[in-house]
Each structure stands twice: as C-alpha cells, then as structure tokens.
Amino acid sequence: MKKKVYFADFTYCDTGLRANDLFPLGCGYVAAYTKSLFGSECDIDILRFTDEFFKVMEKSPPDIFAGSCYVWNKNLVLYVSKLIKKMYPNCMVVLGGLAFPLDSKRQKEFLLKNRQVDFFIPYDGEIGFANLMKEYFNTHGEYEKMKNRSIAGSICLNKNDDFILGEKTQRPKNMDKFPSPYLSGMLDKFFEDGRFSPLIQTSRGCPHTCAYCWASNKENRKIGFFSLERVNKELDYITNLAVQNNIYDLVLADSNFGLYKKDWEIVEKIHKLQEEYNYPRLFSAPYGKGEDLGSVELISKMKGVTYAIAVQSTDSKILKNIKRRPADLDTASQYIKSVHKMGKYVHTEIITGLPYETKEIHMKTIRDLIDCGFDFVDAFTFMLLDGIALNTDEMRKEFKYDIRYRLIPREFGKVKDNYVFETEEVVVGTNTYTLEDYIYLRGFHGLLRITFNNDTYRELLNYIKQSHIHIMDWLTFVYDDLRNNSSRAYECFRLFLEEARSELWDSPEELEAYYSKEENYQKLLTRERGDNLMQKYSILASSIYFDIYTDYFIEMTKRYLESQFKDKKRQIARELEDLEKFIYAKLSGVFNRDIQKKVNFSVNFDIIKWRKDGFTMPLAHYEFESPRVLQMALSDDQKALLENNFKRYNYDFNEKHLYVLYRSIVLLNIDNYFRKEICYLNEEKEVIEERIGLQG
C-alpha cells in the first residue's frame, strides 16, 4: 500500500483572505522531486490551508508530513505538527525552510523545544528529503531507527537527545535535476483556485554577503540555474493556465534577477508573452544589486516592471559592517536618469537601526537618496532573522541590541480553537540609537510613505522642488507640525504614532497572551491592531483620509512657501488651487463604485503639458489666457484591472471591510487607481465646479 505524504506551506486566512497568496513553490519543488523518485511507493498531496488539511487527513491519515517552515508561518506549522503527533503518533514529521538557526547550539535548542519535529532540513530541501525517504523505505517506516545515524541534508535528535547532524548536501549547478512542479501538474489546483499568484524561480542562491539577509549567508552562496528551455516551458505553461483562470500577475523568486546574461532571454520571453497574451500584466522580481545601465532598456520591454536599487544606508562605516560595498550614488544617479527618460520611477530600500547608525545618519541617508533622484524610499526595520550574520550572541552583545517583538502583519489565526501568532524580532535600539530615535524615525517613515512614496502627491512635490525648496526640509517642516500641532491631519497621524509604539512587545509570550483574549483578537480581525503600519496608514491616506491629508498638505505647502516668498502669495495660492483640484480628481470615488465616473474641473494652468515636460519649468510658465476645463477618467484597461482585483478580494466598497481594501490596494501600486485618461474639453462644454473627494 502506498504511503500517504502531505506537503504543506500553510498560510493564515482568519480574515477571510490569504495572508500569503503565492503558489507554494518551495514545497512544490520537493514534492515533484520526491514523486519522480518514489512515485510508485507514495501518494503525494500539496496543501495550503489548515482546515483543508485536517479534513483530508481524516479520510486519508498521513504517514509522512512535510511542512515548510518560514518566518511567516513557523508557529503555525509547529502547532499543526504537534496536533499531528497527538492524532497519528506513527507519522514522521519533517520540516524544512529558513526559520531555523544557523549555529548548532541553537539548532539543538529548537529541536529540544519542538520534540514533535522528527527531522529538520535547512535550506534546499529536495536532496535532504529524498535521502530521508530512501531511509524511511529501507527501515520499513521505523523512522526512530533513522535518528541513530546521520542522514545527509537533515538534522535530528535521537531518544537520548543526541544531536545528529547530517552531512551537508550540495546544490547542483544545473537545477534541472529537480523536476518542475508546474510541468508535472502538481500546482494546477492553485490556478483553478484563482486566488493565488504564480511564483517562478529561474536561479537559486545569492553571490552577495549582506549580513542582515538570510539569502547571503554561507549556506546559500552557491548559484544554481534552471535551463532556459525549462524556464520557457514553465512560462508557457503558467501563461496558459493564468489566462484561463483570469490571473494577472507573476512573481519571480530569484534573489538577483537581471544579474546574469540568461535573464535577458527570460525578459524577451516574458515580453513576447505579454504581447501575445497580455500576461503577465503585473511582474514582480527582486532585481540584482548592481546599477547596470544596459539593463534598463532590456527590462523596460516588460510591462508592470518595478525598477529598484537597494541601498540600505549611505554611511560607509555601516555598509562595511553589514558587508555591503560603498554606495555608488553617481552610478545610481545615472541609472535613475535612464529610467526617468522612459517615464518610469526607481525605488530604493533603507534599513533602520543597523549597527553604528544614529538618527542623524539615517536622516542624512534619506536626504542623500532624494538628492540622488530616487522616487520612492522604502524604509524597513532591522529584523533579527534566523540564519543571518548579524544575529549571533557576539553581535547582540557588541552592539547592545534593544530587542522587541512585533506581530507579523496578517499572520495569525485560530487552529482547532487555539490562537496562533507569528512574531518578528526587531531591533529598536543599539549602543548608538535609542527607542525614542526609533519612534521618531518610524513616524518620519510614515510621512515619507504617505507623501514622497505616494504618486498621489507627485505634482505637489515637484512644485515644491521648483521653488528651490529641498523636499527633506518640507517634510521636516510638515512632520514637526504633525507631531506638535492639533489639526484633522494630526488626529489621523497620531493614530499611526500610537500604534507604532504599541505594536512593540517585550516578549512573544506577552504578545500572545494579549491577543489570545477574544476581545483583543477581534481587534486583529477588524484591522484596528496588528497590520503592516506603513501599508495600512498609506492606504488609509489614499482612501478614508484622502480629503483630510490633501487639504493639509496643500495648506502646509502654502504656509511654507508663503513664508519663503512673501511677495508671491497670490501666485502661490492660484497655483496650489489648481494642483489641489488635480490631486483630488486622481482618486475621487474610485473606492466608492465610481469607477466609471469622469471628473471635470476648471484650471488656470496647463497641468497636462507641465507633467509631460517632466516638471522642467515652473508651473507659472504654463498659465492659460483664460481657464480651461480638464477631464480625468479611468481607461478601459484600468477598469478591467481594478474590477478583476476587487473581485479577487471580494471588495464590496463597504468601509467596514477595510482589510479587503488593504489587500486589493497592496497588490497593485496606488497609481493604478488614478484616473489616467486626461484631456481638455471644448470651451462651450459645461464646467462642473464641485468639491472632489472621497467620502469618509
């Protein structure tokens, strides 16, 4: 009789939606390889949800459970594993993934704490799991005997608590050794489900040594490639099923896409698919850390591409400590200019609280990156992930990490009436950086996300720059007012600052105890607590708080500029009046069933030409002889994209379902929701003068 093997990459869905909505590619690879070797001896299934798992398990009990263990589902898979052991003591439980310590001391502590785990396979799982399966069949399923000898690629404890470390397996250079979970049909049901985004990998491994990243540790440095023939077949297969099931996006799992020559042929392939099938409409990939000017034109062939250069910091001492090369802002600037010529934007990333950082150094980094020309500066908190070089006892002691714990956004749920939460370990202070510095910068990052990182205010920021005002000076002016002076915007922003402080806990146990009370758990379900704060409040700023913030930023700009240019008050007021109307028209009603709505308003300045010219001249140079009527509407393609997205998340335009609003906007950049069909109407057409804005 065949052995029943369940592979699972569990995700939470207590809010009614998936916390992680990517295809389970990692366990898919291991399952496909296992099936190719032992298909005649075992029956394999891949699952994503715990409720589904318990239902099928009752009908067909597991002989082997293989669970993916990542930072976003570690506690979930550990808890389910514990339940499996209680229900089916003879089931062999094998976990694998990145949520596992790098050093043997902590690895043993992990296994001692989680005795329900029979074997752990760190990093690549295909060969290690195959070795376990071979021994499992050789011992006729008596897996306790397997724990008395080392098995390559796996780690375990035997009955005497001896730590049994298997020999490390080698990642093959030619990754085609592992069958495709797509081409084998093992992931078809996730296309049919229609709620997941296809995930594809063309290479594995990372050549960099970034000390804050698990992908760059010594266990993951060797690079392995899937052949172009294999990748092309997978892309064809994915495209066919994605189009059939109205799936719009594709996500790449490589660590550094664009770093290798083979990537350009993949770009050409995706470009052809987009031309022929209009898929993928959205494409997401972690691009290589170089600023290759030649890559810009090639990547630009694809639709839905995001251009990005991760910098983390511009301080040379910090970069040296985290094993990053010095920031080459001159080359980055040239890269950005090349992207800007195509009318596209460039993102960068920074990390708050790295060793040696101070509040002043961090603020200078933001200023440097704005000067360099980046359009979006995304800020992240320094997290102590398993398997990173900065997460050692020595590093903790040397830099005196002030460690707190946060709930990972949306990663929580009830399983068999038990609360389960995923937490992340964050550094909110060091020997050069305090908790109050962290809170100050967290708030500044919030303002940065709402304004600078939000295309909603792109015209306003360019207007400010044309007045020879540095954006950082304007942001600091606004931030000081937001923190200290009462206003409607202050009341909205205060909620963000309060939650930035209250989301930190001294221990995971304290966090779990609080949210395990039903009244507090309900706050997670309503999004009152426990969300990604940057996403949550930037989305609220573009929807529920849209009117309030737009009024406020226009008023603060007027106040700031009038204090600098007292003789131009009337001109400033007239120009800002037009910009305010234009900004309102971008988003008005889009989240209130007004997708079809066309917005008309009069303007004194030719905003269309000003934008088309790349904001190279002051807005005053574009004044009409007499007012014109400007019309803005969503294109048919935009309407189809948004309708598809709202349908995917069951968005019913009801304010009570804010979580659905969050998820639907997170999938698409906010600029996808802007009315982009813009034109001037004939003079004789009716001018509609009305207050344009969302209804809170």
550-553: list long-range contacts, CB under 8 Å, 24+ apart: 550/456, 550/580, 550/583, 550/584, 550/693, 551/488, 551/489, 551/580, 552/487, 552/488, 552/489, 553/451, 553/457, 553/460, 553/478
317 and 300 housed in the same domain = no
pLDDT of residue 688: 36
Give pLDDT tens digits for 435-451.
999 999 999 999 999 99
Q: Mean pLDDT check: name the lowest of 140-144, 204-208, 356-360, 515-519.
A: 204-208
pLDDT of residue 100: 93
Q: For residues 515-532, give the mean pLDDT.
A: 90
Domain endpoint, select from 509, 544, 564: 564
- Where residue 645 falls among pLDDT bands split at 50, 70, 90? confident
Q: For residues 312-318, give the mean pLDDT.
A: 95
495 and 424 housed in the same domain = yes
pLDDT of residue 656: 42
Cβ atoms of 222 and 170 within 8 Å: the answer is yes
**Residue 691 maps to a domain:** no
pLDDT of residue 519: 96
Q: Cα(496)–Cα(515) distance, rounded to whole angstroms?
A: 19
pLDDT of residue 653: 54
Query: In terms of DSSP bridges, do strands 64-68 and 3-8 run parallel, antiparallel, or are they unpaired?
Result: parallel
Residues of the chain with pLDDT > 90, as a percent, come to: 69
Residue (of 666, 696, 658, 661) closest to 525 by Cα position:
658
pLDDT of residue 690: 34
Q: Mean pLDDT check: name the lowest of 49-58, 79-88, 189-198, 659-668.
A: 659-668
Q: Mean pLDDT check: name the lowest of 81-90, 201-210, 282-291, 300-309.
A: 282-291
Q: Cα(446)–Cα(159) distance, rounded to whole angstroms?
A: 51
**Structure-token pair, residue 239:** 């495209």
**Residue 692 maps to a domain:** no
**Structure-token pair, residue 674:** 């802007």
Longest dimension (CA), the chain: 90
SS3 category, 605: strand
Give pLDDT tens digits for 464-475.
999 999 999 999
CATH number at residue 208: 3.30.750
* Alpha-carbon distances of 530 from 79, 148, 496, 501, 512, rounded to whole Å: 21, 43, 12, 12, 12
Instruction: Please check the confidence at residue 659 and state whether its pLDDT lies above 60.
Output: no
Give pLDDT tens digits for 333-355.
998 998 888 888 899 999 999 99
Instruction: Please check the confidence at residue 17 and state whether its pLDDT lies above 80.
Output: no
CA-based R_g, the chain, Å: 27
368 and 272 housed in the same domain = no
Domain of 624, in residue numbers: 592-681
28 and 15 housed in the same domain = yes
pLDDT of residue 687: 37
| Residue of higher predicted confidence among 227 and 676 | 227
Domain endpoint, select from 527, 549, 564: 564
312 and 297 housed in the same domain = no
Q: Which H/E stretch holds residue 415?
A: strand 402-415
601 and 507 housed in the same domain = no
pLDDT of residue 294: 61
Q: What is the mean pLDDT of the chain?
A: 90
Contacts of 680 (CB under 8 A, 6+ apart): 608, 628, 629, 630, 631
Q: For residues 239-254, give the mean pLDDT.
A: 94
**Residue 338 maps to a domain:** yes
pLDDT of residue 308: 85
pLDDT of residue 664: 63
Is the backbone of residue 2 left (phi > 0), alpha (psi -120 to 50) or beta? beta
Q: Cα(36)–Cα(392) distance, rounded to whole angstroms?
A: 39
**Residue 696 maps to a domain:** no
pLDDT of residue 299: 77
419 and 549 housed in the same domain = yes
pLDDT of residue 686: 38
| Residue of higher predicted confidence among 307 and 334 | 334
**Residue 611 maps to a domain:** yes
**Residue 516 maps to a domain:** yes
Give pLDDT tens digits for 95-138.
999 999 988 999 999 999 999 999 999 989 999 999 999 999 99
CATH number at residue 103: 3.40.50.280
**Residue 539 maps to a domain:** yes
Q: Which H/E stretch holds residue 50?
A: helix 50-59
pLDDT of residue 660: 60
Instruction: Please check the confidence at residue 385 and state whether its pLDDT lies above 50.
Output: yes
SS3 category, 409: strand
- Where residue 643 falls among pLDDT bands split at 50, 70, 90? confident
Q: How many domains does the chain have?
A: 4
pLDDT of residue 460: 97
pLDDT of residue 227: 96
pLDDT of residue 651: 65
Domain endpoint, select from 142, 165, 188: 165
332 and 260 housed in the same domain = no
Q: For residues 263-271, give the mean pLDDT.
A: 92
Contacts of 21 (CB under 8 A, 6+ apart): 11, 195, 196, 197
**Structure-token pair, residue 431:** 């020997």
**Residue 124 maps to a domain:** yes
Give pLDDT tens digits for 526-552.
878 888 899 888 888 888 888 899 999
Instruction: Please check the confidence at residue 569 and state whether its pLDDT lies above 90.
Output: yes
644 and 546 housed in the same domain = no
pLDDT of residue 658: 58
Which stretches within 245-392 are classed as H helix?
262-277, 293-299, 316-321, 329-341, 359-372
| Residue indicated by tokens 């306790």 | 144
Q: Cα(245)–Cα(252) distance, rounded to whole angstroms?
A: 19
pLDDT of residue 305: 76
CB atoms within 10 A of CB 435: 13
Summary count for the chain: helices (H), strands (E): 26, 20
| Residue of higher predicted confidence among 634 and 359 | 359
pLDDT of residue 163: 97
Cβ atoms of 53 and 24 within 8 Å: the answer is no
Cβ atoms of 107 and 163 within 8 Å: the answer is yes
Q: Mean pLDDT check: name the lowest of 43-47, 182-186, 444-448, 678-682.
A: 678-682
122 and 43 housed in the same domain = yes
311 and 300 housed in the same domain = no
pLDDT of residue 208: 85
**Structure-token pair, residue 305:** 């591409």
330 and 371 housed in the same domain = yes
